[in-house]
Chain A
Amino acid sequence: MMGGKLFRNFSFFSATLSFFLLVGIFAILFTYAQESMHEFGFDFLFNGTWEADEDDEGGIFGGFIPIIGTLLSTIIAMVIATPLAMGIAIFLTEIASEAIAKPVSIAIELLAAIPSIIYGMWGLFYFAPIVQSTVGGNGVGLLTAGIVLAIMIIPFMAAITRDSMNTTPLVLKESAYAMGATKFEVIKDVIMPYSKGGIIGSIILALGRALGETMAVAFLIGSVMSIPRNITDPTTSIPVLLANNFAEAQDLEMSSMYYLALILFVVSFFIITIAKFYFLGRKVK
């Protein structure tokens, strides 16, 4: 019986670990961000200056530029990815025959498994020149980062959307067809309303992923601390700023980096929570 109790206790402690991790991350980020929070308060969010003093001991640090860069690149990615992902999901559930849907599904899921650094590198060498020659700019910048980010989240979004569309009962679709509805009308009036929660949930989860993505964006956004005036202008984002400058930062600058990480973490937390529990629901079997 001793073994049973030990086993149970170990499993219990393992389970509570995710709680401690989550709280731990928040506590650590919050503690290390204190210096910057005291210095700048909430104005941090709207201050576009990021400058260390000459002696490296202080300076003015505002998160406005990376915050705006994160938001804008995410918005561009979502605007491009959402319709395409919906189209793919519709194609997979309602248009393609099984013989086509299956390999395409696998391909989409493999696309979702490719590490993000590969997207970033491919984007830098193959996609950025195309953006440069067609739209202008330097190649790297907001637009390129947004598009490659979109390519990265499309398979993820399409796969979840497809899964929720597949939950529509067959007989419900058949009864709409039996009234003389076209395929599009069945999709619009039956499948979409039926799987609405899942679809919105997948969009929000993809949004969370785009906000926190580091490597795909790091190659492409330009990593420049300036507000973009133009869609092709280079700028930076929170994850990219952290990736490139976190380890070298000192004192107040370091604390400001923690502040940014905390903002990203809290925003992601809320986005994921809303997506999972409000829209996707948690299936407890």
Chain B
Amino acid sequence: MNRLLLNKIILILSTLSAVIGIGFLFWILATLSYKGITSIHWSTFTHDLVKGGIRNLLVGQFTMAILASALAVPVGMMAGIYLREYGHGSKLASVIRNLSDVMMSAPSIVIGVFVFALLVDPFGGYNGYAGIVALSIMMIPIIISTTDNMLALVPKELREAGIALGGSKHKIILQIVVKAAKVGITTGVLLSFARIIGETAPLLFTSANNQFFTMDLTGQFPSLTVSIYNLATYPDEASRELAWAASFILTMIVLCINLIGRYAIRNKK
């Protein structure tokens, strides 16, 4: 019978696409692990880029991502709190919510260009601060949307109960509502951190890269991802190996943070 055959074909094709999708994941992870692990030496972690290691790059990448979070998390959370707790239902809040959603999908390279014009060009050169600002611009909309959505899940009664006990609005928000949404917001922060720590494009011409260990944010700042991009295109085998090692470590970091975030959500349920 014709329709049964068609049904079978479609179901097989769908299953096949899932197999292909998963197949690529394993293919990528397998090659990455193989190339990465065989390229990692002890010196990879103890040396800086200038001596064939990634110590300064890891420190640099984390420094920028953490400082970007320190900027983006309070601002994004406060904005989310405004959208849900103060401006909820107002025209302004809905416009801001929509713009923030659009910002979330803005091309990261454009953000790099913007920050270049704002913080690199006028100040005479690449600097770590510019990289941090670029990353935090990527992060803020994600934090806003997470906070907004997580606060929406907090039951109205909880707020009303707080008001009924005579609490002032900002205290109820901070002490009851945000607390109730804590797990969800933390997960959102973790996932957005995982996203920005793997970003390359916004750093290319903001903080650029540095071969040496430095904590000076006023100059070029070491970046793991930018180094991967440079190293992979060098012709010598040692550079490529280092690129594989760095890629493997970066992927593991990103996937681990993701899994921790997911685990946190699951534990809450």
Contact A214 to B201, CB < 8 A, known contacts A88-B21, A118-B28, A258-B113 = yes
Interface size range on B against A: 35 or more
Q: How long is the Cα–Cα vector from A107 to B23 in the complex, in angstroms?
A: 10
A-B contact pairs, 30 of them (CB 8 A): A7-B174, A8-B82, A8-B169, A8-B170, A12-B82, A17-B79, A24-B118, A28-B117, A84-B17, A87-B14, A95-B11, A109-B258, A111-B28, A115-B251, A116-B198, A155-B21, A183-B7, A184-B11, A212-B106, A212-B107, A212-B110, A213-B107, A214-B109, A239-B107, A246-B113, A265-B110, A268-B107, A272-B101, A273-B98, A276-B98
Q: A117-B228, A284-B97 are in contact. List 6 more A-B contacts (CB 8 A).
A: A14-B74, A15-B93, A113-B194, A115-B250, A126-B27, A246-B205
Interface string of A1-19 (1 = CB under 8 A from B): 1011001101110111111
Q: What is the chain A residue whose CB lies nearest that of B196?
A: A115
Q: How long is the Cα–Cα vector from A87 to B112 in the complex, in angstroms?
A: 35
In contact, B11 and A110 (Cβ under 8 angstroms) = no
Tell me, yes or no, whether A124 is within 8 Å of chain B by CB: yes
Q: How long is the Cα–Cα vector from A155 to B168 in the complex, in angstroms?
A: 45
Q: How long is the Cα–Cα vector from A113 to B253 in the complex, in angstroms?
A: 11
Tell me, yes or no, whether B137 is within 8 Å of chain A by CB: yes
Q: Which A-B residue pairs are the 4 nearest by beta carbons?
A: A212-B107, A115-B198, A87-B17, A11-B82
Q: Tell me whether chain B's interface is mostly helix, strand or loop, or mixed.
A: helix
Tell me, yes or no, whether A42 is within 8 Å of chain B by CB: no
The residue that B107 contacts in the complex, of A11, A94, A211, A258, with Cβ under 8 A, is A211
Tell me, yes or no, whether A218 is within 8 Å of chain B by CB: yes
Chain B residues with CB under 8 Å of chain A are: 3-4, 6-7, 10-11, 13-18, 20-22, 24-25, 27-28, 31-32, 35, 74-76, 78-79, 81-83, 85-87, 89, 93-103, 105-114, 116-118, 137, 140-141, 144, 149, 152, 168-171, 173-174, 191, 194-195, 198-201, 204-205, 208, 225, 228-229, 232-233, 240, 243-244, 247, 250-251, 254-255, 258-259, 262
By a CB distance below 8 angstroms, the chain B residues around A108 are: 21-22, 25
The residue that B195 contacts in the complex, of A15, A85, A113, A208, with Cβ under 8 A, is A113
Contact A114 to B254, CB < 8 A, known contacts A121-B247, A276-B101 = yes
In contact, B10 and A111 (Cβ under 8 angstroms) = no
Q: How long is the Cα–Cα vector from A95 to B13 in the complex, in angstroms?
A: 11
Interface string of A180-198 (1 = CB under 8 A from B): 0011110100000000000
Tell me, yes or no, whether A282 is within 8 Å of chain B by CB: yes
Q: How long is the Cα–Cα vector from A111 to B102 in the complex, in angstroms?
A: 23
Q: What is the chain B residue whose CB lies nearest that of A266?
A: B110
The residue that A113 contacts in the complex, of B79, B97, B141, B255, with Cβ under 8 A, is B255
By a CB distance below 8 angstroms, the chain A residues around B225 are: 115, 117, 215
Which of A85, A90, A121, A257 has the most chain B CB atoms closer than 10 A to its own CB? A121
Contact A87 to B200, CB < 8 A, known contacts A246-B205, A272-B105 = no
By a CB distance below 8 angstroms, the chain A residues around B199 are: 115
Chain A residues with CB under 8 Å of chain B are: 1, 3-4, 7-8, 10-12, 14-19, 21-22, 24-25, 28-29, 32, 83-88, 90-92, 94-96, 104, 106-111, 113-119, 121-122, 124-126, 151, 154-155, 158, 182-185, 187, 205, 208-209, 211-215, 218-219, 239, 242-243, 246-247, 257-258, 261, 264-265, 268-269, 272-273, 276-277, 282, 284-285
By a CB distance below 8 angstroms, the chain B residues around A219 are: 229, 232-233
Q: How long is the Cα–Cα vector from A116 to B140 in the complex, in angstroms?
A: 20
Contact A239 to B201, CB < 8 A, known contacts A15-B83, A19-B99 = yes
Q: How long is the Cα–Cα vector from A258 to B140 in the complex, in angstroms?
A: 24
Task: Please give the distance in Å from A198's CB to the nearest CB on chain B.
Answer: 15
The residue that A114 contacts in the complex, of B75, B83, B201, B251, with Cβ under 8 A, is B251
